[in-house]
Structures are given as C-alpha cells and as structure tokens.
Structure 1
C-alpha cells in the first residue's frame, strides 16, 4: 500500500550557471595602472609589480604603503593606505604641548591600520586625474587626520547635459553625546 502523501519521483533538471534572463555582464576597459597612476613626490617610491595592469604599490621610508587594484570587470579601482609601524614621538615640553602632540597622534591613522577608498570607473572621463585626486585628497590626509567617514560621489559624466543635476551625496546625521543624568 502506498501513502498518498508521497511525492512521485522526479528527474532533476540540470542547473545552468546563470539564469537565462541574465544579460551579458558589464565589463569596462580600464587602462593599465602604470598609465593612470600619478607620480607622488619624494619620499614616496612606486614599486614595480609583476602585474602592472592590475595593481600598483607605493612605499614611504616611514613604512607607509599605498596600494591600488583594478576590481574584476573594471567597474572600480580599490585604493588603500596602510600606516607605518611608528607614530611620531611626543616632544619634550610643557604638559599642554605634550597633550596636543598626543591628541594629534590619536587623531591619525594608527600603526598597521588601513584606510580604503574606491574610484568608480563607469562614468569617469579623466581617470588619471580622478586617481590623483583620491590619493591626494582622501588617502594621504588620513596619515595625519583620519576622517570620520568617506564621502563617495560618482564623478560627473561628460555626456550629462545638466552636470548640476547630479545627485548630491547623502548627509549623515551627527549624533551628539548625551549628557550624563544627574
């Protein structure tokens, strides 16, 4: 006797890797990083890599490192900076001077920590300028004063008839510390 709740046997259909309704994947041609990375002023030194078209690395004598990597399909370039192993020493002086030096050390990127920023490549007309701007305005300042957050805005496209109509970045609310209850 068979149970009426048993499912009849079925032959599983072979699964495809991608659904049939999925369109072709976007792929953007990004020039090799050797052609779009800026030359940083000394003491930064650009390292020669085995894969010059996918990664680039800069080194500083203090142990800081900057890296760039083209993400798969070329939709973005990931950038990062890693702080060196040592903080600047606290100078001898008054207690106020030492406190200011300690506050400056606390505000900077701590030794061995990494700060990231990405560069979207889809609508970037002048990629070398954009890479230089991110290195100069976002990564290098993190060594002296780490920002609380990263503002990400897509660069304006050249084919946009109204460049002022680009969406402004969303502003996050700043939370104030609550006063202790008395």
Structure 2
C-alpha cells in the first residue's frame, strides 16, 4: 500500500454558525401575570421583600423565620407558592404532663422547622387570579404553620357552565329524573312496533 491510498477517513468540514453581534441582547418577554401586581397584602408582622425579578417572584418574611414565596413558572401557566417554617418550634410549657402532651401534639401537627408546604395556582382561567392568590395564602399556606394538611386539595378555577332550564329536570329522593319524556333512543336504532313482533 502506498502513501497515495491512505485509509484514513477524511474529516468533515464543520458548518459555520452565524454569530450575532455582541450588541444584540436576547429578547426577554414580559410576564403575562406580573407577580408584583398579584401579590396580596399580608398583615404585620409579615413583610414583603424586594426581589431581583418582581414581575416573576415575591417573598414575604416573618420575624420568627417563616418565609412565603410566589413564583411565576416559565410559560406563565402556573404560579408556584410555598411556605417554609422557621427554625424553632414553640417551647413546651412548664406544667402538668397533660399540658406538655397537648403542646407536644400541637408541635407534631404543625409544619416542622425548615420544611416547606407547596401549592400551585393555574393561570389559564385568570378571571379573578388576584383573589385566588390571596385566598390561597390566607386560607392554606399560613394555617399550615400551625396545622399542616395531610393532603392538598385540587382546586380548579374554571368557570362553570350554566345549565339550561329545559335540560334540568327535578329529581326524586333517590336521584332519579322525574321527566315525563323518556331518554332519546340511540342513534341508528328505531323503536320496535309491538304489532309486528312475533
């Protein structure tokens, strides 16, 4: 074999990638639902902190070390919320064994130090998103500090369709419809005539 017939595979030439000028910045889309506008007011001692991205995140702090956070996820479809418990549990009282047992049971039921409880809010049905965020913080996140729920309810904010008066018939105690007209027959089937049946 000679040098002319080299078996080494020739290398492919890499494709040149066009470079954009350094002065061209990546376009950042503004948030569809700015968190700064949706973040509710929490009564003292909760305080709202300034964040680097106020349109996408909000943070509340408590003197006892608790934190509440709101974050708009990429795609602007979900708002993630969470609450993190402070580093200390309430001290057990000095008293009888029953009082200590009750205080210990209350400490066991609450969100433990450093642990977080998360909830999400869908933004697809944003008719009253401000009220949804406020009620979730006041009714679910803050109460989780003293009594953590065992499960998270799935909440849908979709609007309910209003039924027509013709479609809705009164029902008996057993849930049966009292409509005089029988349900319509299936498509493609005709009622049988009893006179022709043998």
**2:63 corresponds to which residue?**
61
Cα distance in 1 for residues equivalent to 2:38 and 2:148 = 26
Task: Pick the structure with greater CA Rg.
Answer: 2
**1:90 corresponds to which residue?**
92
**2:32 corresponds to which residue?**
30
TM-score (normalised: structure 1)? 0.71
**2:162 corresponds to which residue?**
162
Cα distance in 2 for residues equivalent to 1:145 and 1:102 = 13
TM-score (normalised: structure 2)? 0.65
2:156 paired with 1:126: no
Give the deviation of 1:30 after TM superposition: 3.0
Cα distance in 2 for residues equivalent to 1:57 and 1:45 = 9
Gaps of at least 5 residues in structure 1 are 1-28, 164-182
Greater relative contact order, per chain length (Cα 8 Å cut-off, separation 6+): 1
Q: Which has the higher helix share?
A: 1
2:111 paired with 1:109: yes
Coordinate RMSD, CA, aligned: 1.8
**1:24 corresponds to which residue?**
none
Runs ≥4 residues deviating over 4 A: none
Alignment: residue pair count: 135
Aligned partner of residue 75 in structure 2, secondary structure: helix
Give the deviation of 1:161 after TM superposition: 2.9
Aligned partner of residue 73 in structure 1, secondary structure: coil
**1:145 corresponds to which residue?**
147
Give the deviation of 1:84 after TM superposition: 0.1
Contact in 1 for aligned 2:35/2:54 (Cα 8 Å): yes
